[in-house]
A and B are shown apart, each in its own frame.
Chain A
Amino acid sequence: MEKELRIVGFLCNWCSYGGADTAGVGRFIQPTDLRIIRMPCSGRLDPLFVLKTLTGGADGVLVSGCHPRDCHYAEGNYYARRRLEVLKRFLPVIGIDPGRFEYTWVSASEGQRWQHVVTEFTAQVHALGPIQRIGKQAQARACSFATSGLFARVED
């Protein structure tokens, strides 16, 4: 087996975490690299978490929430979408290949889709290989750069 890479998944509790559960119940075999962190809503995701995870040494980050219009909290995923889109464009600025980060929408009934998403993303990260480790200072710089108002503007 190819050496595992570190992939972190931030999933909303209602749709995508449920979808990953559905995939499990359906025994849809997936690559084992991904470790999932459960959140109430994709709107809870601070883009900084993604940056901290990538600059901290993860090889890839996957975010998944409810399909637009299908959010348990009505509009959390719209906030997520705006923030994550900005984040994706920002990653090259600090030297991170945007291919290491994806966001998708998977509903609780879409076990098969989840299997597909995980398999594709894992392959994509493997194609990029392990991430270049950066020093603690560079890490801090990247994160403070990101907090300097970039994401604050995309809330409204």
Chain B
Amino acid sequence: MKIGVFVCHCGSNIAGTVDVAKVAEAAKAMPDVAFASDTMYACSEPGQEGIIKAIQEKGLDGAVVASCTPRMHGPTFMRTVARAGLNPYMFEMANIREHVSWIGRNKEANTRKAIDLVKMAVAKLGQNRPLYPKTFAVNKRVLVIGGGVAGIQAALDCAEGGLDVVLVEKTSSIGGKMAKLDKTFPTVDCSSCILGPKMVDVAQHPRITLHASSEVEDVFGYVGNFQVEVRKKAPYVDWKACTGCGACMEKCPAKKSPDPFNELVGRTTAINIPFPQAIPKKASIDPTACIRFKTGKCGVCAKICPTKAIRYDQQDEMVTEEVGAIVAATGYDLMDWTVYGQYGAGRYPDVVTSLQYERMLSASGPTGGHIKRPSDGREPKNVVFIQCVGSRDPSVGRPYCTGFCCMYTAKQAVLTKDHIPDSQSYVFYMDIRAPGKMYDEFTRRAVEEYGTQYVRGRVSMVYPMGDKLVVRGADTLAGTQVEVLADLVVLAVGAEGAKGSPHLAEKLRISYDSYGFFMEGHPKLKPVETNTAGVYLAGCSQGPKDIPTSVAQGSAAAAKVLGLFSKDQLQSDPQVAKVDLKRCVGCMKCALTCPFGAIKELETRGEMKVEVIETVCQGCGICTSTCRQGAIQLQNFTDNQILAEVNALLLTAEEEGA
């Protein structure tokens, strides 16, 4: 075999702490290496041309590129090798940047390590075989999980692009957090006026199937061919019959039921439509609040309903949806602010969250748009906003900036003045982060036009005094302690991944971080992709972001799906398991361990053996390390390939020791 080795400088990224010329020189002495050189930027056009030229002129059978991580440029160089006429799997990478030059300062040690890594890659390549992908058909339907503004946008864009869309929303209506907002920064336009029409579009679009009050229970399959089990939770109302007239709500005697749409400010009825613009506009019963469910008596709604839609004995329903791609848009939840005992959250009724305040500002909210203190219903005069409650605070495990709290606090201060002209707002802040279009201008207006007083510093505690609250903190600009007497305190609570998102991530086989946000494929270059083919991200499920950015990402995810579906056939990754029938004894251990059910029985010449379904195999190799016969081998990660790497390394050790 004739192998070529190409060692990249990556400018000074590698060459700064690795003697790349020496690595190339050492490579020339390795077995099977017919050519070795160092190159400034292997991934650049001249770099790739150089590789192609060497392969063709020297008649090479394979190439090793020693540069960055294969997770970054592996596919790039595989295409390069293919352009030179080789099979793309006759290629290996040695990661001498992320794993060498960037983590060690000792040039000598780094160079030795880089040589080892090249030696291992060469040894592995010596065992590589050409691999060929299979093609399979794509099911051009898409599942969107989460009906917030990001999911709505993704669903509409996909549907407009000609795809059939299934939208699964956990609550009884789409709209997400945006539906709860009164106005939106920086334009202060009415939230439901811009979201409402989009929600109606979802309801009316012939290509969108909406499953509200539903959750994804299980996901099987792979890109192009997912099978999704959806649990439609029983609303105890036949939604086909319900017209959303609301007569049941008027008559329901259980009028003090918790109201999640209004963030538990105010109460609702046990049977309810969460808000007037809800989509679908259908009633559902909260069985934990319903008198009929609790005592067997009542049944008023069933009597009153003009279409006889009430079904107390309704059961959850399971539906299976077959799709080719999935967009996860499950958004965020506010973090548990009651960990801030010093702010009295949960103890003092007049300390509320930003989202509760948003409902109090809303004309369709529980107070009809009048700001009233929860304790006594009086109109507050002094309103104190505390920012960064659960953001930028490592002490509660939330070191990151939520990004939109500065802006919504400014908005809420402005709206407070609009509602109560003789009020005074105070904002305790750490920094003001307002980098969006017209954002900084907006926070300035809050100060200059609306007279909001900004105090830079953290609040140390909030405590009651008479019927008011004392907010005590530091003014770090003036270098003094400050105390403000407040009628109402609003906590700008930070965001974390939606509840249950890690659970969903496991079903989708995507990664999530310790805050419950899903991980994108690459922090810069793959912002809407995940590491699982065919699964994309939109909106705050990936990390906190404002509405414009959530919408943009929703559209981006839709564009990715449309791009994926622009082909009728997809190519499967040929790095799948393969059975050596001579060795297989048909014990089926591999089939038992395969998480994807990719291994099936095969009868040959009267003997039981196994066979791998190539499009189902995901290439994990669990079967390979299970099979005691060594009969089933994951291609491109065979025992021989991995042990070749180990041996190459240990041989060096032996040489050194001698």
B484 at the interface (CB under 8 A from A): no
Kindly state the separation between the CA atoms of A91 and B412 in the bound complex, as whole angstroms: 63
Complex alpha-carbon distance, A145 and B639, angstroms: 18
- The reply on B71 being an interface residue by CB < 8 A is yes
A75-B646 contact in complex given A30-B103, A30-B104, A41-B621, C-beta closer than 8 Å: no
Interface of A is mostly: loop
Judge if B209 is at the interface, Cβ distance under 8 Å: no
Is A156 in contact with B621, judged by CB distance below 8 angstroms?
no
On chain A, the residues within 8 Å of B622 by CB distance are 41, 43-44, 73, 75-76, 79
CB neighbors of B among A33-69 (8 A): 35-41, 43-47, 49, 52-53, 56-58, 66, 69
Q: Complex formed: what's the CA distance from A83 to B622 in Å?
A: 11
Mark out the residues of chain A between 105 and 147 whose CB falls within 8 Å of any chain B CB in the assembled complex: 107-109, 115, 133, 147
CB <8 Å contact, A75 and B653: no
Of the candidates A18, A23, A39, which one forms a contact with B71 in the assembled complex, judged by CB atoms under 8 Å apart? Answer: A18
Q: Which of A14, A28, A46 has a CB less than 8 Å from the CB of B103?
A: A28
Q: Is the pair A24, B97 in contact by a Cβ cutoff of 8 Å?
A: yes
A95 to chain B, nearest CB (A): 18
A29 touches B104 (CB 8 A): yes
Complex CA–CA separation, A37 to B647 (angstroms): 12
Decide: A24 and B595 in contact? CB cutoff 8 A.
no
Could you say which residues of chain B place their CB within 8 Å of the CB of A20? 98-99
Nearest CB of B to A9, in Å: 9
The 0/1 profile, CB within 8 Å of B marked 1, for residues 1-37 of chain A is: 1001010100001110110110111011111100111
Please state if A53 and B646 are interface contacts (CB–CB under 8 Å).
Answer: yes
Cross-chain contact A6 with B653 (CB below 8 angstroms): yes
Closest to B514 in A: A109
Q: Determine the chain B residues whose CB is within 8 A of the CB of A45 once the complex forms.
A: 625
Which B residues from 499 to 534 make CB contacts under 8 A with A?
502, 505-506, 509, 511-514, 519, 531-532
- Residue A74, interface by CB 8 Å: yes
In the bound complex, CA of A17 to CA of B100 (Å): 13
A35 engages B637 (CB within 8 Å):
no
B444 an interface residue at 8 Å Cβ cutoff? no
Structural contact, A24 and B506, CB atoms closer than 8 A? no
* Interchain nearest-CB distance for A98 vs B (Å): 19
Task: Provide the residues of chain A in CB contact with B505, threshold 8 Å.
Answer: 70
A8 contact set on B, CB distance < 8 A? 646, 649
B625 & A83 in contact (Cβ 8 Å cutoff): yes
Q: Are B506 and A57 in contact (CB under 8 A)?
A: no
Interface check B102, CB cutoff 8 A? yes
Determine the chain B residues whose CB is within 8 A of the CB of A53 once the complex forms.
Answer: 646, 650
Q: Which residues of chain A have C-beta atoms less than 8 A from B103's C-beta?
A: 23-24, 27-30, 32, 115
- Return the contact of B619 from the options A30, A32, A40 (Cβ within 8 A): A40
Q: With A and B bound together, what is the CA distance between A149 and B629 in angstroms? A: 11
Which of B102, B103, B109, B117: most chain A Cβ within 10 A?
Answer: B103
Give bound CA distance, A49 to B116, whole Å.
Answer: 18
Q: Are B625 and A147 within 8 A (Cβ)?
A: no
Asked if A14 meets B95 with Cβ closer than 8 Å, knowing A4-B109, A155-B626, the reply is: no
A19 to chain B, nearest CB (A): 10
Tell yes or no: B129 within 8 A of A by CB: no
Minimum CB–CB distance for B146 against chain A, Å: 20
Q: How far is the CB of B418 from chain A (nearest CB, A)?
A: 42
Interface residues on B, range: 35 or more
Most chain A beta-carbon neighbours within 10 Å: one of B105, B502, B625: B625
Question: A93 near B: Cβ within 8 Å?
Answer: no
Give bound CA distance, A73 to B510, whole Å. Answer: 9
**By the criterion CB–CB under 8 Å, are B506 and A73 in contact?**
no
Contact call A36/B589, Cβ cutoff below 8 A? no
Q: Which residue of B lies closest to A13 (CB)?
A: B71
Q: Is the CB of B650 within 8 A of A40?
A: no
Q: Does A81 contact B (CB under 8 A)?
A: no
In whole Å, how far is B71's beta carbon from the nearest beta carbon of chain A? 6
**Chain B residues within an 8 Å CB radius of A75:** 595, 622
B542 CB, nearest partner CB in chain A, Å: 12
Q: Once the chains bind, are B643 and A35 in contact (CB under 8 Å)?
A: no
Chain B, residues 607-643, CB within 8 Å of chain A (1/0): the string is 0000000000011111011101000001001010011
Q: Does A44 contact B513, Cβ atoms closer than 8 Å?
A: no
B338 CB–A CB distance under 8 Å: no
CA distance A44 to B622 in the complex (A): 5
Report how far A4 CA is from B106 CA in the complex, Å. 12
Q: Which residue of chain B has its CB nearest to the CB of A45?
A: B625
Are A32 and B71 interface neighbours, CB within 8 A? no
Q: Is B70 an interface residue (CB 8 A)?
A: yes
A39 to B619, CA, bound (A): 10
Across the interface, A14 reaches (CB within 8 A) one of B106, B110, B531, namely B531
Tell yes or no: A88 within 8 A of B by CB.
Answer: no
What is the distance, in angstroms, from A106's C-beta to the closest C-beta of chain B? Answer: 12
Contact between A6 and B649, CB atoms less than 8 A apart:
yes
* B255, CB-defined interface residue at 8 Å: no
Q: How far is the CA of A107 from the CA of B654 in the complex (A)?
A: 33
Closest to A57 in B: B650
- Is B102 touching A155 in the complex (CB atoms < 8 A)? no
B30 shortest CB reach to chain A, Å = 15
Contact in complex: A73, B113 (CB < 8 Å): no
Task: Tell me whether A46 and B639 are in contact in the complex, defined as CB-CB below 8 angstroms, given that A73-B509, A76-B595 are known contacts.
Answer: yes
Which residues in chain B, 318-355, are within 8 Å of chain A measured between CB atoms?
none
The smallest beta-carbon distance between A139 and chain B, in angstroms, is 11
Assess whether A43 is in contact with B71, with CB atoms less than 8 Å apart: no
Find chain A residues with CB under 8 A from B71 CB: 13, 17-18, 21
Asked, given contacts A70-B512, A83-B625, whether A37 binds B595 with beta carbons under 8 Å apart, the answer is no
Contact sample, A vs B, 13 pairs, CB 8 Å cutoff: A1-B106, A4-B109, A20-B98, A23-B98, A24-B98, A35-B120, A37-B120, A44-B621, A70-B505, A70-B506, A71-B509, A74-B506, A155-B592
Q: Which 3 A-B pairs have the closest CB atoms?
A: A24-B98, A44-B621, A73-B620
18 additional contacts (CB under 8 A) given A24-B69, A32-B112, A108-B531: A15-B511, A20-B99, A24-B97, A28-B103, A29-B105, A31-B104, A32-B109, A35-B649, A39-B637, A40-B619, A47-B625, A57-B657, A58-B650, A69-B506, A71-B509, A76-B595, A109-B514, A149-B628
